[in-house]
Amino acid sequence: MLRVGCQTYTWEMLGDKWSGRVDDMLTAIADSGYEGIEITNTMIREYAERPVEFGRALKARGLTLAAFAYASPLGFTDPAHHTQELQGAEKALRFLAEFPGSPLMLGGPSTPTRQGVAEKIGRAAEFYNEVGGRGKSVGVEVAFHPHSHHGSILESREEYERIMELTDPALVQWNPDTGHIVRGGQDLLDTLRTFRTRIRHIHLKDVDAHNNWQPLGKGICEIPAVLTFLEREAGFSGWIVAEEESDSAAAAPENAIAGNRRYLKAVGY
């Protein structure tokens, strides 16, 4: 049975415009009816060095840590930053040691320029494999999360095929994102079917025909068909995590995540 979580990027995308606490997000997510939360290395904030206390805060609200996401603005593609980024991933793995069964999601590769894309995807794959190996040694599963903005170099089918070829499925799995797949110009259900054996965790986002983010059910991402595929065809039984980046979410994050939860309940989840 699929479990429904909420991603904290709805608040993260606001940057300095949001000055709340982690507990505020946890309460809003729990009050909206989610079972779990996926939080990022940016939004863990005051709990960054306090995983035990974070676990207590989750438990007090009836929440589970669905996943921890680690992204770097440096994009995992520049060898000059490899050590720094690896240290960040190792810190995330140590945090997850307090949450058995919760995986680590690594952000997609990015770069200021698409020059030498193939080589840069190769560097990202090496990073993912290295972190995946370290995760396996401490019992934490690792997956990568392609995106379609902020200098992404992992959007097209050719680029997806390349990263799949270069990453070891025994060490690194895949965190597909419905909105990013569509924004990258791919057929959503075909992409999910093609790489179905690598799916570890999934983000549900919606976009319109102009690639603008929309609340779930307001775009073209065929969310009900995705959910049916996951359960009936792929046999997936992990977390589906709603993530909201629309203009309406920026105006009222709590209302946006509550609306997405209502939508998922309306379609049977």
Write down the pLDDT at residue 114. 84
Beta bridge pairs of residue 145: 107
Q: What is the pLDDT of residue 253?
A: 97
Enumerate the domain spans of the chain.
3-266
State pTM to two decimals. 0.97
pLDDT in tens, 214-269: 999 999 999 999 999 999 999 999 999 999 999 999 999 999 999 999 999 999 99
- Rounded Cα distance between 65 and 37, Å, is 5
Given a contact cutoff of 8 angstroms between Cβ atoms, the answer to whether 160 and 186 are in contact is: yes
Amino acid at 98: E
Q: How many helices (H) and strands (E) does the chain have?
A: 11, 10
pLDDT, tens digit, 9 for 90 and up, residues 126-142: 999 999 999 999 999 99
- What number does CATH give the domain 3-266? 3.20.20.150
pLDDT tens per residue, range 244-258: 999 999 999 999 999
The pLDDT of residue 113: 85
Q: What is the pLDDT of residue 201?
A: 97
Q: Are 134 and 93 in contact (CB under 8 A)?
A: yes
Nearest-Å Rg of the Cα atoms of the chain is: 17
pLDDT at 1: 82
Residue 161's pLDDT band, with cuts at 50, 70 and 90, is very high
pLDDT tens readout for residues 70-118: 999 989 999 999 999 999 999 999 999 999 999 999 999 999 888 899 9
Mean pLDDT of the chain: 97
Supply the pLDDT for residue 62.
98
